[in-house]
């Protein structure tokens, strides 16, 4: 097959990006031989039927245009070899990524994987055609929301699309290795499709090539042996982003993220408004040890059950947390200014500031706020005490949380539930279950709200206490007349899936 060398005419260079033109009319054809005959023969592009429109996206080494190919919309990705070579990006790397994509993508046929159309390899450029997704990437979609509320149903739908696509990809023996919102596309029906297989590998033949630090599993960062569970870790970060509305580790450079994850085992703080079942799923997906992360087939089953639950529950919005990280910092600054003016905070203000400290995981400032609480005598307020317990629990200081509980004279369901949840969050699931049972036996605690059972079921979920979890779940209705909602159903489902 003849070699196709491409040189843009000056008239094409001067065209506006919004215009369209036949690609062949902008190219001069030379002679020679293509070094990827197999690719061009099997997946060759008929350039006489390809029209190029505006550039709508750009990758690290590529530009992506909206095109028309054989009267169908297409995404046209160009990788300019010489241009990248001048920037210090070796041709061998670009060629390897191109060959990976055209090796893996054509054999993938799934509604949640972008459809491959064709490819061409030339001396000066590489070209890949895939189906065009008019909504762009998931990153673009999330940015366009501009902090608008996103429904729980939509979060679950998005998570299901990604999980189903990844379940299929793993079943084909392929590891994506760069799963992130930029590499997930949104079609006209708001359905997600996984794209960009430039660094994907066969599970049995993975090399040292790696993805993006911000979504990268710790074992991959450390250069250790890894498998398909690196994609599960990345999925956990995407699910966190869907819930939180912010980019993971915002404000940190890629290298800082790598150090935080690999050396300190750091993870983003899960917003308190996140449903417990999604919080539990996120935590399991980004577990340090890959063998503790679920398979995508398990994730799909859990999400499908949640999706069914959403169909008969009232619509629930996952609004941006009222105390986003920046607002938390602003709240602390205002509190310091308030104290400087010798103004006395109300109990409500103290709760808000303690929640801010909890979200920022700043126990030092939290202890300073606690000193104000004690000075004002506000520790007697159960909601302030509950906020203190929650802050210390999320900060990993369960002993200090227990001290707050012990020093509160009048304990009620709010405090007991906070303490049970605190144990569950700090790895003390056995202590949480023991405390719950002890309180029931002594009749010091009547679980009269669903959140009480969410706390103990979360503990059972983390510890794998399936029998106990089923017992508590059944007691909700039989003993206390409560109707389980999506959080309790999901905890039970996830426990059962973990047993598989």
Query: Using an 8 Å Cβ cutoff, are 345 and 338 in contact?
Result: yes
In the prediction, which pLDDT does 238 show?
97
* Residue 487 vs residues 102, 142, 159: alpha-carbon distances, Å: 42, 25, 17
Please write the tens of the pLDDT for every residue from 421-436: 888 877 788 999 999 9
Which tokens sit at 247?
Answer: 């980019």
Which tokens sit at 421?
Answer: 């949840």
Query: Using an 8 Å Cβ cutoff, are 131 and 117 in contact?
Result: yes
Mean pLDDT computed over 20-34:
36
Identify which has the larger pLDDT, 6 or 334: 334
Q: How far apart are CA 135 and CA 175, in angstroms?
A: 25
From 189-198, 274-283, 323-332, the region with the lowest mean pLDDT: 323-332
Greatest mean pLDDT among 26-30, 202-206, 360-364 lies in: 202-206
pLDDT band at 36 (very low <50, low <70, confident <90, very high): very low
Active site residues: 178
Q: What is the DSSP letter of 381?
A: S
Q: How far apart are CA 208 and CA 93, in angstroms?
A: 12
Check pLDDT > 70 for residue 493: yes
Task: Tell me which long-range contacts 168-173 makes (C-beta under 8 A, separation of at least 24).
Answer: 168/108, 168/110, 168/112, 168/113, 169/108, 169/110, 169/113, 169/194, 169/231, 170/203, 170/228, 170/231, 170/295, 170/296, 172/107, 172/108, 173/202, 173/203, 173/204
In the prediction, which pLDDT does 112 show?
96
In the prediction, which pLDDT does 261 show?
93
In the prediction, which pLDDT does 408 show?
85
pLDDT band at 324 (very low <50, low <70, confident <90, very high): low
Greatest mean pLDDT among 25-29, 178-182, 484-488 lies in: 178-182
| CATH fold label, 10-131 | Phosphorylase Kinase; domain 1 (3.30.200)
From 48-52, 136-140, 243-247, 355-359, the region with the lowest mean pLDDT: 355-359
Check pLDDT > 60 for residue 33: no
Q: How far apart are CA 107 and CA 488, in angstroms?
A: 40
Owner of token pair 């039970």: 492
CATH topology agreement for domains 10-131 and 138-318 = no
Q: What is the DSSP letter of 58?
A: E
- What does 98-149 look like in DSSP terms, one character per residue? HHHHHHHGGG---TTBPPEEEEEE-SSEEEEEEE--TT-BHHHHHHHHTT--
Which tokens sit at 70?
Answer: 């054989």
Q: pTM (2 decimals)?
A: 0.64
Identify which has the larger pLDDT, 210 or 252: 252
In the prediction, which pLDDT does 381 show?
84
User: What are the b/e assignments for 27-57, b being 16+ CB within 10 Å?
Assistant: beeeeeebebeebbeebbbebeebbbbeebb
Averaged pLDDT score across all residues of the chain: 81
| CATH fold label, 411-500 | 1.25.40
Greatest mean pLDDT among 82-91, 273-282, 289-298, 461-470 lies in: 289-298
In the prediction, which pLDDT does 309 show?
62
Please write the tens of the pLDDT for every residue from 299-313: 998 888 777 765 444
Greatest mean pLDDT among 200-214, 233-247, 427-441 lies in: 233-247
In the prediction, which pLDDT does 173 show?
93
In the prediction, which pLDDT does 184 show?
97
Domain boundaries, the chain: 10-131, 138-318, 324-396, 411-500
Class of domain 138-318: mainly alpha
From 50-59, 331-340, 461-470, 489-498, the region with the lowest mean pLDDT: 489-498
């Amino acid at each position: 097959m003849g070699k196709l060398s491409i040189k843009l005419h000056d008239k094409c260079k001067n065209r506006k990006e919004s215009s369209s033109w036949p690609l062949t009319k902008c190219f001069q054809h030379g002679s020679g031989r293509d070094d990827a005959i197999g690719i061009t023969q099997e997946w060759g592009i008929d350039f006489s039927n390809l029209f190029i429109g505006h550039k709508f996206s750009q990758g690290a080494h590529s530009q992506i245009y909206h095109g028309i190919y054989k009267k169908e919309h297409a995404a046209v990705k160009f990788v300019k070899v010489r241009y990248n070579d001048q920037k210090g990006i070796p041709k061998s790397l670009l060629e390897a990524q191109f060959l990976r994509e055209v090796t893996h993508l054509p054999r993938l046929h799934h509604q949640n994987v972008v459809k491959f159309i064709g490819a061409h390899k030339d001396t000066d450029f590489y070209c890949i055609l895939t189906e065009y997704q008019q909504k762009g990437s998931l990153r673009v979609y999330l940015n366009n929301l501009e902090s608008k509320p996103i429904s729980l149903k939509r979060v679950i739908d998005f998570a299901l699309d990604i999980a189903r696509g990844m379940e299929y990809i793993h079943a084909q023996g392929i590891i994506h290795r760069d799963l992130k919102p930029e590499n997930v596309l949104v079609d006209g029906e708001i359905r997600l499709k996984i794209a960009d297989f430039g660094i994907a590998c066969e599970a049995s033949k993975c090399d040292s090539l790696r993805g993006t630090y911000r979504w990268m599993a710790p074992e991959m960062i450390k250069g250790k042996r890894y498998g398909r569970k690196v994609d599960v870790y990345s999925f956990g970060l995407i699910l966190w982003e869907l819930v939180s509305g912010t980019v993971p580790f915002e404000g940190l450079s890629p290298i800082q993220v790598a150090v935080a994850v690999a050396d300190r085992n750091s993870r983003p703080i899960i917003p308190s408004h996140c449903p417990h079942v999604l919080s539990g799923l996120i935590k399991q997906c980004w577990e340090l040890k890959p063998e503790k992360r679920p398979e995508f087939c398990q994730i799909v089953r859990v999400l499908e059950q949640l999706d069914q639950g959403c169909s008969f529950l009232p619509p629930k919005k996952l609004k941006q947390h009222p105390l986003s990280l920046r607002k938390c910092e602003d709240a602390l600054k205002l509190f310091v200014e308030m104290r400087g003016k010798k103004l006395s905070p109300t109990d409500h203000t103290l709760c808000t500031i303690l929640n801010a400290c909890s979200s920022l995981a700043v126990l030092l400032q939290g202890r300073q706020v606690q000193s104000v609480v004690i000075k004002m005598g506000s520790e007697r307020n159960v909601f302030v005490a509950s906020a203190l317990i929650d802050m210390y629990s999320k900060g990993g200081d369960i002993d200090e949380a227990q001290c707050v509980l012990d020093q509160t004279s009048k304990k009620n369901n709010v405090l007991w539930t906070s303490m049970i949840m605190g144990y569950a969050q700090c790895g003390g699931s056995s202590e949480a279950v023991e405390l719950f049972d002890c309180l029931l036996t002594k009749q010091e605690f009547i679980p009269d709200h669903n959140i009480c059972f969410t706390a103990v079921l979360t503990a059972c979920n983390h510890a794998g206490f399936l029998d106990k979890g089923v017992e508590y779940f059944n007691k909700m209705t039989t003993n206390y007349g409560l109707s389980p909602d999506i959080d309790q159903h999901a905890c039970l489902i996830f426990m059962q899936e973990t047993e598989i």
